[in-house]
Structures are given as structure tokens and as C-alpha cells.
């Protein structure tokens, strides 16, 4: 999704006739504003939109689109043959007052986004980006709204809430009961999945090889007597997909506590609350 430059058509040169904006199919949706409200719809429910340039109100509306641009989102196959069912384009046509087509042009679109979920509403986008400021529009999406499982459960395919205490008690050392530490997480993944830490390579190289990555606390946490520390305690799970593959995206998924599960680029949930990934497991 994004703002597109005005199509190559200047309505100021014509105060008569008609301009038509059309889409090939409903894979493409067009708004006059990124808020995407009912009043901003251009091509959402209909496949074409006409402006009669001899009518002042319609002339002004089309002029505004040319001046300010429009917002386009959708899905398309970059390898698709033009005019096939898998391609996606916008076209603009100008007709004289007698209905004769004088000029027509088409723009084919390739859409790049995180696609294993739903793109967030503006409200949800602003809400989550407040906590996760590194998120970039269209490079993340919401996979599920659920509050009954957390990131540790999701990371091993167990859709329940696996607490720090459970990991400490059932997988950690008896000598440190009541204290949650990275060694407990290492033992958890070794027991449940047979994964161990990756010790060589840069963080980006480790993330590319890993199944999950753990954002560790700076120090062991005595969860019985101490409040939860800041900067850690999260785990993200790799999403094997081709989202943004041509741009080098590496995708992960994160269950954000009781909040949604999202798909995101591997580095984009780094934030003050989680910190950065410390241990990469495979």
C-alpha cells in the first residue's frame, strides 16, 4: 500500500469530456486518503470511476486527485502476463464530449507486503507502533487476535500460555528455582524441540538460520520477589515465506502477550520493552 504519483493526465487542459479511472479486477483498491474511510473510496466497491469535466464539482475532485495523489493497495503477481487473471493494473482514459476515446494509459502494479495475515487498520497500526516503533507500514501484518497463548507457546506450536514459572520449574535447574534465566530457556527448547543456540555468525546470519530467537533479560529474574524487568522476555518464531523476498526481507512472527500475533521482519520488534534478540535457536 502506498501513495502513487498522479497518472499522466492533466485535467486543466480539458474542461469538457470525461475522465475514467478503472481497475482490472478487485485485487486493486484505491482511496483518495490513507485513512481509507467511506468518503475516501475511489475504486473499492466499483471497477471504474468517471469524472465529467464540464461539471465544476467533478472537475475539482479529479483535480484534487491529480494534485495530491491517491492511495493504492492490493495484491498481484509480479510474474503475471499483462491482461491475465493474475495481473493487476490501473487505467485512465479520456473521452471527448461525444464519447470518443482520445487517450488511454495503464499502470501495472506489483504489491510488496507482509501477506500472511491482515493489514492493520490505521487505529491498530498506531496502537502497536506505539509499543513497537521499528515496525514499518506494509512490512508487518496481523495474523490472529487471541489472548489465550503467548510467545513461548506459539514458538513451539503449543497454543497455550507457557509462563516463565513453568519454564523455570519444569525445565530449569533445581538449584535456581524461583529465578528465571536464559539457561532455563535453553533447557526448554532443547527438551521440547531439540534446538540449541547458534554460536557463530552475525545476528542477521543467525536469524536467517534460526527457528526462533529469544530476547533475554539482562540478568536472572527472581520472579517471586521482583517485578518483571524491562528489556527482554520475548521470543519470535520464523515464518518461512517469500514476503519481500526480492528485497531481502527475513520474516518472523511474534505473539505479543495478550495482544495480536503478527508477522514482521526479523528486526522490527526490537524495542525498549523487548530489547534485541540475544539467543538464536536451531
Spatial separation of the C-alpha atoms in residues 227 and 11, rounded to whole Å: 63
Mean pLDDT value of segment 83-92: 70
Spatial separation of the C-alpha atoms in residues 266 and 263, rounded to whole Å: 9
What pLDDT does residue 5 have? Answer: 43
pTM value is 0.68
What pLDDT does residue 119 have? Answer: 84
CA 266 to chain CA mean position, Å: 12
Q: Which of 25-34, 144-153, 189-198, 265-274 has the lowest mean pLDDT?
A: 25-34
Mean pLDDT value of segment 118-140: 89
Helix ranges, 69-132 (H): 122-131
Residues 6+ apart with CB under 8 A from 121: none
The grid coordinates of residue 16 equal 469538457
Of residues 179 and 76, the one with the higher pLDDT is: 179
Amino acid at each position: 500500500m502506498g501513495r502513487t504519483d498522479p497518472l499522466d493526465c492533466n485535467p486543466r487542459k480539458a474542461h469538457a469530456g470525461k475522465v475514467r479511472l478503472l481497475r482490472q479486477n478487485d485485487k486493486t483498491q484505491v482511496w483518495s486518503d490513507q485513512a481509507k474511510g467511506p468518503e475516501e473510496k475511489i475504486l473499492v466497491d466499483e471497477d471504474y470511476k468517471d469524472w465529467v469535466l464540464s461539471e465544476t464539482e467533478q472537475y475539482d475532485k479529479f483535480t484534487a486527485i491529480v494534485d495530491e495523489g491517491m492511495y493504492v493497495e492490493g495484491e498481484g503477481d509480479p510474474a503475471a502476463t499483462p491482461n491475465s487473471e493474475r495481473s493487476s493494473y490501473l487505467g485512465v482514459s479520456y473521452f471527448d464530449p461525444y464519447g470518443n476515446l482520445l487517450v488511454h494509459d495503464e499502470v501495472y502494479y506489483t504489491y510488496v507486503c507482509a501477506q500472511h495475515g491482515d493489514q492493520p487498520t490505521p487505529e491498530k497500526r498506531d496502537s502497536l507502533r506505539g509499543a513497537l516503533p521499528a515496525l514499518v507500514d506494509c512490512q508487518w501484518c496481523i495474523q490472529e487476535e487471541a489472548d489465550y497463548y503467548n510467545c513461548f507457546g506459539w514458538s513451539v506450536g503449543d497454543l497455550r500460555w507457557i509462563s516463565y514459572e513453568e519454564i523455570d520449574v519444569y525445565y530449569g535447574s533445581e538449584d535456581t528455582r524461583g529465578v528465571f534465566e536464559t539457561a532455563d530457556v535453553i533447557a526448554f527448547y532443547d527438551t521440547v524441540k531439540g534446538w540449541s543456540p547458534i554460536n557463530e555468525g552475525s545476528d542477521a546470519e543467525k536469524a536467517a538460520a534460526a527457528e526462533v530467537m529469544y530476547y533475554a533479560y539482562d540478568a536472572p529474574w527472581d520472579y517471586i520477589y521482583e517485578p518483571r524487568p524491562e528489556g527482554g522476555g520475548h521470543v519470535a518464531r520464523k515464518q518461512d515465506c517469500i514476503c519481500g523476498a526480492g528485497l531481502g526481507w527475513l520474516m518472523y512472527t511474534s505473539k505479543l502477550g495478550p495482544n495480536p500475533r503478527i508477522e514482521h521482519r526479523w528486526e522490527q520488534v526490537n524495542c525498549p520493552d523487548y530489547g534485541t534478540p540475544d539467543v538464536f535457536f536451531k
